[in-house]
Amino acid sequence: MTMTEIAQTIDAAFSAQRDTVASRRQSFGLAERRAALARLGRAIRQNETALIAALATDFGKPEAEVILTEIVPVMQEIRHTSRHLRRWMRARRVLPTLATLGTSARVRPEARGVCLIIAPWNYPFSLAIGPLVSALAAGNSAIIKPSEMAPATSAFIARLISEIFPPDLVTVIEGAVDTSTELLAQPFDHIFFTGSPKVGKIVMGAAAKTLASVTLELGGKSPTIIGPDADLNAAARWIAFGKFANAGQTCIAPDHVFVHHAVKNDFLTALRDRIAGSYGTGPTSPHLARIVNADHATRLAGLLRDAVAKGARVLLEGGQKDREMGPTLIESITPEMEIDHEEIFGPILPIMTYDNLDTVIDRINGRPKPLALYIFSKQRSQVDRIIAAISSGGVGVNLTVAQFVHPNLPFGGVNTSGIGMAHGHYGFRAFSHERAILSNHFSALPLIFPPYTPKVNRLVALIKRILG
């Protein structure tokens, strides 16, 4: 489509949803929201085979990995949200203070209005539909922009949504950067973006022009710390899964590992054994997804080549064949290397040795705050010390990535790694306006309204002594 056609399509889609905001506030209640979520859940189950095929086309994802990382999280989100939605929607009463005696107060969650969901390419289904669950639960309409870098999955989402929802409630607009730019020019009530910090800044800048609220789920270099007392076999299992699922293209994957010198060799042995048992040797494995496209495969090869040229040592050579890249371990990383600063987003894992935990803490705190922090240790005091010293989006203790699928935990970053929270009640609140309502019954506040007579001034002085 031409830019004019793109703009016309987007204007029509936005206007259709904007025109129904007022009526939706009155008609899209608990029953209607639950029904919408039920339709979505049924459609996913009925089209599961087609979704698995689409992700195989885009990524070569193993079927089990699609089920675990794309389908199960969304279905769990639907079930959890439907089960708790009545309570979430209920107005919450709050106690009066001395100054507001004679009144009653409540906080009423209300739909924001028309929302934009811009999804990433790495988990193109779950990271598009998961936020939609929260948007619908909160009573909003939504326009979804899937990633053009996963075209088969994007087309699947567009077809799925068009078959189960009217366009004035949910619609999908496919396209590339021009489409996203045009969408961001519309005065959405809320924008939910998942992607890189670089693009997140662009989204936030666009939102500022219309004063739209935002949820930004970004990324960063999530570190892993292995203490000298850690269960090394368990650490190897969790790190191998968290790092190499989706070929490392996961925003909360362990980006690099700090391992205590006393257990480094034993850990490397355990990790190599785990990688061999899970993925075999070489770049081709039926249990390993592909890199999303040739450009990203070239970028990863360049990161590895730059690191080796500047002194890094390869501990495990995974190999690369076109878009297929095997798990690769490297060490001797220095600040001059691009891989030390750029989020890897691929199956390359730097291993760093430490003696003093303070140096690790200082190094992590000297970088942008990560989306996730992983700690492997049996000492509660050591774990608590690290958590207290390092700011991050979320923390996994003796595990990786599983915090994403806990429906009662907020998911989100801090500063560079994100703004706002998602999942479960936190996602519902992200797409809701929490409206304050104060009702008067027998408030005494009119006694201190002007004119400020001596009597009123005495009352003001008394209030100041009590409350001031």
For the annotated catalytic residues, the residue numbers are 217, 251
Q: CA-to-CA distance for 297 and 312, rounded, in angstroms?
A: 19
Contact of 402 with 396, CB cutoff 8 Å: yes
Residues 6+ apart with CB under 8 A from 186: 10, 11, 14, 116, 210
What separation in angstroms does the CA of 393 have from each of 39, 257, 463?
32, 17, 43
C-beta separation of 189 from 140 below 8 A: yes
For residues 276 and 272, what is the distance between their CA atoms, to the nearest angstrom? 6
User: What is the C-alpha to C-alpha distance for residues 75 and 43, in angstroms, rounded to an integer?
Assistant: 11
CA distance 143 to 162: 12
DSSP 3-state assignment of 9? helix
* Amino acid in the structure at residue 23: S
The residue type of 438 is L
One-letter identity of residue 164: I
CB-based contacts of 193-197 (< 8 A; 24+ apart in sequence): 193/118, 193/217, 194/118, 194/119, 194/120, 194/127, 194/131, 194/218, 194/251, 195/118, 195/120, 195/219, 196/343, 197/368, 197/416, 197/417
Residue 350 to residue 340: CA distance in whole angstroms: 9
What is 79-139 written as a DSSP string? HHHHHHHHHHHSPEEE---GGGTTEEEEEEEEE--EEEEE--SSSTTHHHHHHHHHHHHTT
- Tell me the C-alpha distance between 27 and 312, whole Å: 61
User: CA-CA distance, 119 to 38, in Å (whole number)?
Assistant: 22
Alpha-carbon gap, residue 25 to 230, rounded angstroms: 53
CA 462 to chain centroid, in Å, comes to: 50
CB within 8 Å of 351: residues ≥ 6 apart: 256, 257, 259, 264, 268, 315, 329, 330, 331
